[in-house]
């Protein structure tokens, strides 16, 4: 998650509504730049666990110094 390309990708993700990120993580997603398997390929994860993981990633996606803070 540390290079410039990743930063741009995360900026695009973070611009989306959180509900979209949850949906992609829970149900899976296939896009131009890759795919996300549903529930991170762990069918035993509950929706709440997946949403908690998304919340964690959103907070930690880009270090604050990368944003210029």
Predicted pLDDT of residue 53: 95
13 pLDDT band, cuts 50/70/90, is: confident
Tokens of 37: 């398997």
Domains of the chain (ranges plus CATH)?
4-67 (1.10.760.10)
Predicted pLDDT of residue 15: 87
- Using CA atoms, how far apart are residues 31 and 9, in angstroms rounded to an integer? 12
9-25: string of b/e by CB count within 10 Å (b at 16+)?
Answer: bbeeeeeeeeeebbebb
Tokens of 12: 């695009």
Is the pLDDT at 2 greater than 50? The verdict is: no
Tens-place pLDDT, residues 26-62: 999 998 888 999 999 999 999 999 999 999 988 887 6
Predicted pLDDT of residue 69: 44
Predicted pLDDT of residue 62: 65
């Amino acid at each position: 998650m540390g290079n410039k390309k990743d930063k741009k990708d995360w900026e695009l993700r973070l611009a989306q509504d959180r509900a979209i990120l949850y949906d992609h993580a829970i149900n899976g997603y296939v896009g131009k730049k890759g795919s996300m398997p549903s529930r991170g390929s762990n069918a035993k994860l509950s929706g709440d666990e997946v949403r908690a993981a998304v919340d964690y990633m959103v907070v930690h996606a880009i270090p604050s110094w990368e944003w210029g803070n």
